[in-house]
Amino acid sequence: MSKSAIIFIYTCFTIVLFAQAERSVQGAFGAVTIDGKVWNQIALRPVIPIWKFGVALDLVFYIDADGNIHKDEWDFSDGEAIKNTLIDKIYYIRFGFPNDPLYFKVGSLDYVKLGYGILVNGYSNAIEYPQVRKVGLDFRVKRDLFSVQGFVNDFKENLGLTGFRVQTPVLAGIPIGVSAVMDRNQHLGLKDRDGDKYPDFFDHFPDDGNKYSNARENKEEWRQVYLEFEGSNPDSFDVWFTTLPLDHNTFNPAEIKDDPMSAIAIDIGYPVVTEQNMSIAIYAQI
């Protein structure tokens, strides 16, 4: 391993110790198999405080029985590799805390709740992390007469799932909130590994861009069977073939539209206890 990689890893461990003293650090230990070889896994997720900012790092080390570190996650071979390695180590960047007048978090979102949770409660864009890395936004702005809260699941999906909530005390000082959530395309989350416009969920051959239907792969064999019995009318084969009880793929990419979905909710609540790290309220929402 290069000297720059060793220095960077040493710096990461120093930062972890500093973060543990200042805030907290999460960790996990285990074993994984990579390319048929067993590696010991050490995963650390420290949050580094920098003024009002907090930078959460995602540090994963794979170590074999001889003490060698898996290099793919720590590639410092050139400028592009260094950039990608450093970006991959950032889990999220936040400013402030949820109860502060201004708060936002950019990157992986572990838990998003909109208002009292009738529309969004416990949403996370990091369920498939690190295989799928999403860059989302969660923000809150609090003022004396109103507060605004919102989130975006992933900027790379061009604001696929978004939500916001506005709250203001308009009824005898009791806060009333209005929330709205929109998924502009419910099919954005469907993966298509082979890029044939047939999502893996519908694709009978998700890793082969030239195939998508089990029945279609045997179509020519069935054509020969059909011609033996109905040779006088070969043009009707396609109609006859679709009626066979085979494993047809009925998904048609041309018929799939964005299929957006949206919802609106109204809530009213009375705060009983409001502290920096705790709040209790009586509320109703529809």
Q: What integer pLDDT is reported at residue 5 of this predicted model?
A: 47
Q: What's residue 220's pLDDT?
A: 87
Give the residue extent of every domain in the chain.
1-95
Task: Give me the pLDDT at residue 19, please.
Answer: 45
The pTM is what? 0.73
What pLDDT is stored for residue 65 in this prediction?
86
Q: Which two tokens stand for residue 170?
A: 């308009």
Three-state DSSP at 190 gives coil
Geometric angle at alpha carbon 59, from 53 and 65, rounded to 5°: 165
Q: Which helix (H) or strand (E) holds 40?
A: strand 37-50
Cα Rg of the chain (Å, integer): 26
3-state secondary structure (DSSP) of residue 6:
helix
**Residue 186 DSSP label:** T
Per-residue pLDDT of the chain (286 residues; tens, 9 = 90+): 555 544 445 455 555 554 444 456 677 788 878 778 888 988 888 899 999 999 999 888 888 888 888 887 788 888 888 888 888 889 999 999 988 999 999 999 999 999 999 999 999 999 888 778 889 999 999 998 899 999 999 988 777 899 999 999 877 778 899 999 999 887 777 787 888 888 888 889 988 888 889 988 888 888 888 888 776 677 788 888 888 888 888 888 777 777 789 999 999 988 888 776 677 888 899 9
User: CA-CA distances (angstroms) from residue 38 to 1, 27, 42, 62, 70?
Assistant: 19, 20, 13, 9, 11
Give residue 22's pLDDT.
46
For residue 75, the model assigns a pLDDT of: 82
